[in-house]
Structure 1
Amino acid sequence: MTKSSLRATSIAALALALAAQPAAAQDAPAREPTAFTLETDQPRTPEQEAVRFDKADVSIKVLPETKSIEGVAVLDFTVLSPIQRLAVELDTLFTISEIKLDGEVVPADRWSNPEGRLTVEVPAGLAEGATPTLTITYGGQPRTAPRAPWNGGWVWSTAPTGEPWIGTAVQLNGCDLVWPCIDNSHAEPGQLDMHVTTPGNVSAPGPGVFTGMTENADGTKTWSWSIKTPNIYAGMINVGPYEEMTAGYQSRFGNTIPMHYWHLRSDDPAKVERLFGEFSRMLDFFESTIGPYPFGDSKMGVVETPYLGMEHQTINAYGNEYRIDDRGYDWLLQHEFSHEWFANQLTNANADHMWLHEGLGSYMQPLYARFLHGEQFMQAELKTQRMGLVNAFPVVSRTDRSVNAVYGGSEGPGGDIYNKGSLIAHTLRMTLGDEDFYEAIRRLVYGRPDPRPGNFAPRLATTQDFNAIVNQVTGQNYDWFFDVYLYNAALPKLTETRTGDQLTLAWDTNGLPFPMPVEVEMNGEVQTVPMRDGRGSLTVPADATILIDPQNKLLRQLDLVDDLQAYNRTQRAARTAR
Structure 2
Amino acid sequence: MLAVTVSAQTFSRKDSLQGGLRPERTRYDVQRYDLNIRINPEERSIVGYNDISFKALAGTPTIQLDLFENMRVDSIVYDNKKLPYRREFNAVFVFFADGIQGTGLHKLRFYYSGKPLVARNAPWDGGFVFKKDKNNKDWIGVAVQGTGASLWFPCKDSQSDEPDLGATIKVAVPNGLMNVSNGRLLGSEDLKDGYTRWDWEVKNPINNYDITVNIADYAHLHDTHDGIDLDYYVLRGNEAKAETHFGDVKPMLDCFKSKFGKYPFADDSYKLVETAYLGMEHQSAIAYGNRYLKGYMGTDLSRTGIGLRFDYIIIHESGHEWFGNSITSEDIADMWIHEGFTMYSEAVFVECLYGYEAAMTYINGMRGNIGNDKPIIGHYGVNNEGSGDMYYKGALLVNTLRHIVGDDSKWWPMLLKFSETYRHKIISNETVIKFFNKESSQDLTPVFDQYLKTTKIPVLKLTLKKGKLDYQWQNALDGFNMPMDVIIAGKAVRLYPTATPQSMDVGKKLKLSEISPETGKFLIDVVKS
TM-score of the two chains, using structure 2 as the length reference: 0.89
Write the mapping of 1:487-526 to structure 2, written as runs, cut at 5 A: 487-510=453-476, 512-526=478-492
Pick the aligned partner of 1:241 from 194, 201, 217: 217
Alignment of 1:358 onto 2:339: yes
Write the mapping of 1:525-544 to structure 2, written as runs, cut at 5 A: 525-531=491-497, 535-544=502-511
Equivalent residues of 1:484, 1:509 under 8 A apart? no
Q: Tell me the residue number matched to 1:378.
A: 359
* Alpha-carbon displacement from aligned partner over 1:374-429 (angstroms, at most 9, x marks no partner): 344323322321112222333236x51545x32xxxxx3x2210000001100100
DSSP-derived class of the 2:200 partner:
strand
* Alpha-carbon displacement from aligned partner over 1:251-287 (angstroms, at most 9, x marks no partner): xxxxx111111110132x4421222221111101100
DSSP-derived class of the 1:187 partner:
coil
* Alpha-carbon displacement from aligned partner over 1:118-161 (angstroms, at most 9, x marks no partner): 12222211111343322122112111111111111111111111
Letter in 2 for 1:557: D
Equivalent residues of 1:244, 1:262 under 8 A apart? yes
Query: Aligned in 2, Cα 1:474/1:511: closer, same or farther, shift over 3 Å?
Result: closer
Residue 234 of structure 1 deviates from its aligned partner by: 1.8
Q: How far apart in 2 are the matches of 1:157 and 1:214?
A: 25
Query: Aligned in 2, Cα 1:506/1:533: closer, same or farther, shift over 3 Å?
Result: closer
* Alpha-carbon displacement from aligned partner over 1:27-72 (angstroms, at most 9, x marks no partner): xxxxxxxx88789961133122111211111111110111111111
Write the mapping of 1:203-352 to structure 2, written as runs, cut at 5 A: 203-227=178-202, 228-250=204-226, 256-267=227-238, 269-325=239-295, 326=305, 327=307, 328-352=309-333
Write the mapping of 1:446-465 to structure 2, written as runs, cut at 5 A: 446-447=420-421, 457-465=423-431
Q: How far apart in 2 are the matches of 1:116 and 1:89?
A: 6
Equivalent residues of 1:37, 1:91 under 8 A apart? no
Q: How far apart in 2 are the matches of 1:222 and 1:511?
A: 57
Query: Aligned in 2, Cα 1:122/1:369: closer, same or farther, shift over 3 Å?
Result: same
Q: Tell me the residue number matched to 2:298.
A: none
Equivalent residues of 1:345, 1:446 under 8 A apart? no
Equivalent residues of 1:305, 1:317 under 8 A apart? yes
TM-score of the two chains, using structure 1 as the length reference: 0.82
DSSP-derived class of the 2:147 partner:
coil
Equivalent residues of 2:61, 2:100 under 8 A apart? yes
Q: Tell me the residue number matched to 1:395.
A: 376
Query: Aligned in 2, Cα 1:337/1:538: closer, same or farther, shift over 3 Å?
Result: farther
DSSP-derived class of the 1:65 partner:
coil
Query: Aligned in 2, Cα 1:40/1:62: closer, same or farther, shift over 3 Å?
Result: farther
Q: Tell me the residue number matched to 1:409.
A: none
Query: Aligned in 2, Cα 1:548/1:220: closer, same or farther, shift over 3 Å?
Result: same
Letter in 2 for 1:247: D
Equivalent residues of 1:484, 1:512 under 8 A apart? no
- Structure 1, unpaired ranges of 5+: 1-34, 251-255, 407-411, 449-456, 561-578
Runs of 4+ in 1 over 4 A off after TM superposition: 35-41
* Alpha-carbon displacement from aligned partner over 1:171-190 (angstroms, at most 9, x marks no partner): 12111012110111122112
Judging by fraction of residues, say which structure has more strand. 2
Alignment of 1:369 onto 2:350: yes
Alignment of 1:417 onto 2:390: yes
Alignment of 1:79 onto 2:56: yes
Q: Tell me the residue number matched to 1:442.
A: 416
Equivalent residues of 1:102, 1:132 under 8 A apart? no
Q: How far apart in 2 are the matches of 1:279 and 1:185?
A: 28
* Alpha-carbon displacement from aligned partner over 1:343-385 (angstroms, at most 9, x marks no partner): 0110012122111110110011122112222344323322321
Q: How far apart in 2 are the matches of 1:39 and 1:370?
A: 42
Q: How far apart in 2 are the matches of 1:331 and 1:364?
A: 11
* Alpha-carbon displacement from aligned partner over 1:493-537 (angstroms, at most 9, x marks no partner): 111111021222111144522333333323433333343675343
Query: Aligned in 2, Cα 1:559/1:549: closer, same or farther, shift over 3 Å?
Result: closer
Residue 473 of structure 1 deviates from its aligned partner by: 1.4
Between the two structures, name the one with larger relative contact order (CA 8 Å, sep ≥ 6).
2
Pick the aligned partner of 1:470 from 436, 443, 449: 436
DSSP-derived class of the 1:486 partner:
helix
- Structure 2, unpaired ranges of 5+: 1-11, 296-304
Query: Aligned in 2, Cα 1:82/1:203: closer, same or farther, shift over 3 Å?
Result: same
DSSP-derived class of the 1:62 partner:
strand
Q: How far apart in 2 are the matches of 1:350 and 1:440?
A: 24
Q: Tell me the residue number matched to 1:174.
A: 148
DSSP-derived class of the 1:417 partner:
helix
Equivalent residues of 1:308, 1:319 under 8 A apart? yes
Q: How far apart in 1 are the matches of 2:504 and 2:345?
A: 35
